[in-house]
Amino acid sequence: MDRMKPNISMAVIRRLPKYYRYLNELMEKGITRISSKEFGRILGFTASQIRQDLNCFGGFGQQGYGYNVRELRDEIANILGINKTKNAIIVGAGNLGQAIANYSGFRGSGFVLKAMFDINPRLVGISIRDIKIMDIDDMGEFIKNSGVNAGIICTPKEGAQSVADRLTGEGIKAIWNFAPTDLEVPEDVIVENVHLSESLMVLAYMMNERDRMENTQ
Ligand code: NAI
């Protein structure tokens, strides 16, 4: 059943993976149900925020019972679409590309890594966790034959736009972009940017604020 209502805010969507992760942990501990108050306490959210978030999708809890952990976990997986398999390729098989290929949690998000591509002939032919690094010139053919749904860009920023153009030109409609640049893509292409340095700057800010508060006390 598709419970998703239109116009759910991205802020809510971005909290769902955290719900999912904690629900998995609760299941591993054998906990079968949880109140919104207790769930909120674990997550650091208020009970009303949890109820509000989950109500966006039709609400899963029952008054006086709370949430069935497995049911809620499965519903969130369904909403996120992580129970559907998606094929991905990495472009740029350097330090980061190889680290991502080595990341074992890939499948938990519904993605299966099919291949990596690079321009460096010294990398072509090497395998990382059984994932072959192939020549970038073979990418178009591979995409056509292997049902690729998403591209992961791990090239230096100078090459990222041309890689994005190549991916979208081959019909790829979803890009996970690690290169520190804003990509220009056709309207129907989804880009999710990941920038560790931005998160690190937020950490720097919070450390700075803490120091500032301590010094004014
Ligand atoms: P790297 O130099 O180790 O690897 C880059 C790879 O891309 C090389 O193997 C190179 O041959 C390949 N490449 C270059 N142009 C290409 C093209 N047009 N098509 C295919 N392959 C191409 O660099 P590293 O450390 O792996 O970083 C890769 C990118 O990721 C950089 O843009 C870096 O700034 C970014 N980065 C982003 C992070 C984030 O949090 N978003 C964290 C770390 C790195």
Q: Which two tokens stand for residue 62?
A: 């029952």
Neighbouring CB atoms inside 10 A of 191's CB total 16
- Domain-terminating residue out of 80, 103, 126: 80
Considering only CA atoms, which residue is closest to atom 25 of ligand 1? 95
Q: Are residues 54 and 99 in the same domain?
A: no
* Residue span of the structural domain in which 35 resides: 10-80
Using an 8 Å Cβ cutoff, are 176 and 194 in contact?
yes
**Same structural domain for residues 52 and 156?**
no
Q: What's the pLDDT at 8?
A: 75
Residue 104 CB: number of other CB atoms within 10 A?
7
pTM of the model: 0.90
Ligand 1, atom 4, residue with closest C-alpha = 94
At residue 1, the pLDDT reads 40
Provide the CA 133 distance to its chain's centre, in angstroms. 22
Parallel/antiparallel/unpaired status of strands 150-153 and 174-177: parallel
CATH number at residue 54: 1.10.10.10
- Here the CATH number for the domain that contains residue 179 is 3.40.50.720
Half-sphere exposure of 142 (CA within 13 A, CB side): 24
Would you say residue 1 lies in a domain?
no
What is the spatial distance between Cα 65 and Cα 56, in angstroms, rounded to a whole number?
19
Identify which of 90, 91, 118 to mutate to test ligand 1's pocket (most ligand atoms within 8 A of the CB): 118
The identity of residue 97, as a single letter, is G
| Lookup: tokens for 110 | 């519904």
Name the residue of 124, 137, 155, 193 to mutate for ligand 1: max ligand atoms within 8 A of Cβ: 155
Token digits of residue 60: 């899963």
Q: Which of 136, 153, 178 to mutate to test the pocket of ligand 1 (most atoms within 8 A of CB)?
A: 178
pLDDT tens across the length of the chain (217 residues): 444 455 678 888 899 999 999 999 999 999 999 998 999 999 998 988 888 888 876 666 676 778 899 999 998 999 899 999 999 999 999 999 999 999 878 888 999 999 999 999 999 999 999 999 999 999 999 999 999 999 999 999 999 999 999 999 999 999 999 999 999 999 999 999 999 999 999 999 999 999 999 888 7
Looking at residue 186, its pLDDT comes to 97
Is residue 126 in contact with ligand 1, taking CB distance under 6 Å?
Answer: no
